[in-house]
Amino acid sequence: MSDNNFRKGPHSAKNKPFSAERGEAINDAVPSSDERKTVILDEDLEGVEFEDKVWLYWIRNKNFILGTVAAAFIIVIGVQGWKLCTANRNAKLASEYEAASTPAQLEEFAKSNSGTKLAGVALIQNADGAYAEGKYDQAQKLYAQAQKDLSKTVLLGRAKLGEAVCIYASGDKAKSESALKAVFEDATLAQSYRAQAGYLLGLAQKQAGKNAEAKETLKKVSETQGDGIFAQIAQETLSQME
């Protein structure tokens, strides 16, 4: 609220002393520089009933009070309206996503709603399907594309992990190790995806004959709290390598 709004009220020029006998403002009786009686002070209201004090305050400040209340009401309605609109929009988006049951429909949904989290989920769903069919290059592109819509969400790790696994499945072992390591060491991603990336990295290093590196990686996974099942299987793999 601006300072000008606070300056309204008792100090306004319209609040000049009033003569009840003549029924007109006493513009000449009080110099413009003397505003003492434009403000109701406590000593001016000695002996006046509380209800009359309230009435006088209301008369002198009603425009400011009504304006302030109206402004506050508009702000509240605006915020609530925005929330309702957002909720309705999200519900509509969710409904459209649920209706997309084929890869083609999911692709169209993702294109039409680019920038939304559900668009990223639709891309991951199609990527999973492409991976299951052995279309690793296509799946990799979809996982990479999904990362734009899923930034700052827990599923970002899922998309990055999927991309790294696709690189490995495509046969580029060196590049896949780099991609898996990037996910494993990224502290901003969910721990469950990092643990899985670390375990797969250890296996990739082992298959490449890098036993020392594989043991080091698997040991980190097995000793990290919160890695769950991957900590257990990493420990089992380490035991087999001893």
Percent of the chain, pLDDT > 70?
62
Rank 4-18, 34-48, 228-242 by mean pLDDT and report only the highest. 228-242
Percent of the chain, pLDDT > 90?
44
Tell me the pairing of strands 18-19 and 24-25.
antiparallel
Q: Report which of 242, 164, 154 is spatially closest to residue 191, judged by C-alpha positions.
A: 154
Spatial distance between the Cα atoms of 174 and 52, rounded to a whole number of angstroms: 87
pLDDT band with cut points at 50, 70 and 90 for residue 93: confident
Angle between helices 173-184 and 191-207 (to 10 degrees): 150
Q: Report which of 68, 63, 66, 69 is spatially closest to residue 10, judged by C-alpha positions.
A: 63
Residue 76 CB: number of other CB atoms within 10 A?
Answer: 10
Q: Report which of 231, 205, 210 is spatially closest to residue 219, judged by C-alpha positions.
A: 231
Q: How far is the CA of 62 from the CAs of 1, 26, 37, 237, in angstroms?
A: 17, 22, 18, 79
Spatial distance between the Cα atoms of 242 and 122, rounded to a whole number of angstroms: 43
Better-scored residue on pLDDT, 88 or 213: 213
Q: Can you spell out the DSSP letters for 45-107?
A: GTT--HHHHHHHHHHHHHHHHHHHHHHHHHHHHHHHHHHHHHHHHHHHHHHHHHH--SHHHHH
Better-scored residue on pLDDT, 238 or 26: 238
pLDDT band with cut points at 50, 70 and 90 for residue 173: confident
- For residue 80, pLDDT over 70 is answered with no
pLDDT tens-digit readout, 102-134:
999 999 999 999 998 889 999 999 999 999 999
Spatial distance between the Cα atoms of 42 and 61, rounded to a whole number of angstroms: 16
Bridge partners, 24 (sequence order): 19
Q: What is the pLDDT of residue 152?
A: 86
In the three-class reduction of DSSP (H, G, I as helix; E, B as strand; rest coil), residue 171 is classed as coil
pLDDT band with cut points at 50, 70 and 90 for residue 34: very low
- For range 200-205, the mean pLDDT: 93
Task: Please check whether residue 174 is in contact with residue 204, taking contact to mean a CB–CB distance below 8 angstroms.
Answer: no
- For 107, the token pair is 């692709």
pLDDT tens-digit readout, 218-232:
999 998 866 678 888
- Average pLDDT across the chain, whole number: 75
Q: What is the pLDDT of residue 13?
A: 39
Q: Roughly how many angstroms between the first and final C-alpha of the chain, as a whole number?
A: 72
Spatial distance between the Cα atoms of 223 and 231, rounded to a whole number of angstroms: 7
Better-scored residue on pLDDT, 73 or 61: 61
